[in-house]
Amino acid sequence: MTSEQPTVLVVDFGAQYAQLIARRVREARVYSEIVPHTEPAEAMLARRPAALILSGGPASVYAPGAPSLDPGLLDSDVPVFGICYGFQAMALVLGGRVEHTGESEYGAAQLRVAEGESTLFHGLPREQQVWMSHGDRVVVPPEGFRVTASTSGSPVAAFEHQRARLAGVQFHPEVLHSEHGQAVLEHFLYEIAGISPTWTTSGVIDEQVEAIRAQVGDRRVLAGLSGGVDSAVAAALVQRAVGDRLTCVFVDHGLLRKGEAEQVERDFVAATGVDLKVVEAAERFLVALAGVSDPESKRKIIGREFIRVFEQAAREVVAEAGARGDGVDFLVQGTLYPDVVESGGGAGTANIKSHHNVGGLPDDLSFTLIEPLRALFKDEVRAVGAELGLPAEIVWRQPFPGPGLGIRIVGEVTRERLEVLREADAIAREELSRAGLDRQIWQCPVVLLADVRSVGVAGDGRSYGHPVVLRPVSSEDAMTADWSRLPYDVLARISTRITNEVAAVNRVVLDVTSKPPGTIEWE
């Protein structure tokens, strides 16, 4: 993002919700980034943040080695908002008292807003449900702070210091279980920190186009397309910047869902006019996977073959460009902000990330990376894709694993089993779309239990077919997920159609496991 854009830094004290806080700030139309609590205060303040938000965390402020809060952050004239652990650390540094009482608050709690003036809670109900997760609690606020809310377990559940522009809450305003949490957060951003809600994804396109042109100059760029939204939007954004100096490579490994290869080859090209090189490699992958049932072995084989196919395609593109007197110096990667955070900052290395199917390129195919989406979350990427004019089928494509259907077949991957799964999956997606549910769930993997046979009835005789599993899940970031409560009539239509139209399947079952303990994918 540009230096002119007001930025809120979310200081991460090990919170499982740090990314969610950053998302909520952006939903308030204020740009935000996450920084580790170990980053020196001087480095944070050198970024000239418009405000700081101190996240929660699993530690006790009194525990040996607990994350510490540099007092310099609170003496800097930068507005600060503490949440949970960040709230307690803030109170402790400023001279308040935090106690470990042995009485914890976890889950829903009733918050009572104090009488009198409050910027955080003005216009909100005097009693509201909030979400708690703490063992310690603030019992005495720092001098000059006004207690503005409490719960039965937290006498100081919120405090404010208007003149110093400091505030905090014991609960988690970023989670949906806190009824008015977003309003509380926005009151801090707009009224205490004085930030105007001006950030949108619409400015990302112009900003990135300008940056890409400055980086690339008159040289050529290579991009790998997977069929997913991240790689498609990244490539479309670069193509907007450099035009026909971008070449995209699409490796069709034969493990995509029904119609997805055609989406890339037809719809993406029609929308962007991009130069696309398609590599048909389905037979190669089937041969490599023959006789293999172990999930991890399948993943490694698919990744290995993808590297080999992509590197050969990349060499051909480089050779063709060289014959014309051009050089291919840049590689587009669809890295998103969660990838950057989870990799500890995302220093740019010339490796295609594993979730893009490739573990790395050989030394003689080294490129400088272009990562135009590295500041964005998935929903923001979709918004950029829509503005770039990409088809809705690509922009709203549900997350799909790099190894594709290869890890949604429990057992050996064969041509016949892939066709069975493609048909069952296509029916499920079609019915979810018809019911208007495909954008309300995170994704709905369909899994073929290829090594399992169950007895059924077909006409007047018995059948021995395969079961398929429906795995509808709801999630914001895939780190945790819950199974989606789909309407029974939709489930019934999916089951009836699959068992009627896909001859090899005679049973449809529903996976109702959350994550954790289960993963989203079966393999």
Catalytic, out of 37, 134, 172, 253: 172
In this structure, the number of other CB atoms found within 10 A of the CB of residue 299 comes to 17
Residue % of the chain over a pLDDT of 70: 91
User: Using CA atoms, how far apart are residues 41 and 386, in angstroms rounded to an integer?
Assistant: 38
- Mean pLDDT across 327-346: 77
pLDDT at position 355 is 37
User: Using CA atoms, how far apart are residues 262 and 267, in angstroms rounded to an integer?
Assistant: 7
| Peptide linkage before 6 cis (omega within 30 of 0) | no
User: Using CA atoms, how far apart are residues 387 and 509, in angstroms rounded to an integer?
Assistant: 39
Q: Residues 510-522: pLDDT tens digits?
A: 999 988 888 889 9
User: Using CA atoms, how far apart are residues 34 and 340, in angstroms rounded to an integer?
Assistant: 10
pLDDT at position 350 is 34
Contact between 450 and 409 under an 8 Å Cβ cutoff? The reply is yes
Q: In this structure, is the dihedral angle defined by the CA atoms of residues 120, 379, 368 and 363, taken in order, positive or negative?
A: positive
Look at residue 489 and give its three-state secondary structure: helix
CA neighbor of 404 nearest in space, from 424, 390, 422: 422
pLDDT at position 44 is 96
- φ/ψ of residue 428, rounded to 5: -60, -45
pLDDT-wise least confident of 174-183, 319-328, 466-475, 497-506 = 319-328
User: Using CA atoms, how far apart are residues 371 and 464, in angstroms rounded to an integer?
Assistant: 49
Locate tokens 């909030």: which residue? 130
Residue % of the chain over a pLDDT of 90: 65
pLDDT of residue 57 exceeding 90, the answer is no
pLDDT at position 359 is 40
Confidence of residue 479 (pLDDT cuts 50, 70, 90): low
pLDDT at position 346 is 35
3-state SS of 282-294 is: HHHHHHHHCCCCC
pLDDT at position 65 is 85
Confidence of residue 200 (pLDDT cuts 50, 70, 90): confident
pLDDT of residue 73 exceeding 90, the answer is yes
Q: Residues 5-24: pLDDT tens digits?
A: 899 999 999 877 888 899 99
pLDDT of residue 354 exceeding 80, the answer is no
Contact between 344 and 192 under an 8 Å Cβ cutoff? The reply is no
Locate tokens 């079609």: which residue? 430
Q: Bridge partners of 180?
A: none
pLDDT at position 352 is 35
Distance of CA 73 to the CA centre of its chain: 29
The mean predicted confidence, pLDDT, of the chain is 88
* Residue 84 known to be catalytic: yes
Contact between 69 and 76 under an 8 Å Cβ cutoff? The reply is no
Confidence of residue 59 (pLDDT cuts 50, 70, 90): confident
CA neighbor of 24 nearest in space, from 172, 241, 216: 172
Query: β-strands 51-54, 158-161: how paired?
Result: unpaired
CA neighbor of 253 nearest in space, from 313, 296, 294, 334: 313
In this structure, the number of other CB atoms found within 10 A of the CB of residue 214 comes to 9
pLDDT-wise least confident of 223-227, 296-300, 335-339, 408-412 = 335-339
Distances (CA, A) of 55 to 24, 66, 95, 177, 476: 13, 14, 19, 17, 18
* Residue 172 known to be catalytic: yes
Contact between 360 and 351 under an 8 Å Cβ cutoff? The reply is yes
Burial of 443 (0-12, 13-18, 19+ CB in 10 A): buried
- Mean pLDDT across 58-77: 89
pLDDT at position 363 is 57
Of the ranges 16-20, 330-334, 479-483, which is most confident? 330-334
Locate tokens 């006409």: which residue? 459
The helix-helix angle for 378-387 and 202-216 (nearest 10°) equals 80
Catalytic, out of 105, 174, 371, 423: 174
- Kindly give the residue spans of alpha helices, DSSP state H, lying in 357-487: 378-387, 392-395, 415-434
User: Using CA atoms, how far apart are residues 369 and 366, in angstroms rounded to an integer?
Assistant: 9
* Residue 416 known to be catalytic: no
What is the signed CA dihedral for 356, 359, 364, 366, rounded to 10 degrees?
Answer: 50
pLDDT of residue 1 exceeding 60, the answer is no
pLDDT at position 343 is 61
- Kindly give the residue spans of alpha helices, DSSP state H, lying in 165-254: 181-187, 202-216, 229-242
Catalytic, out of 33, 37, 84, 134: 84
pLDDT of residue 254 exceeding 90, the answer is yes
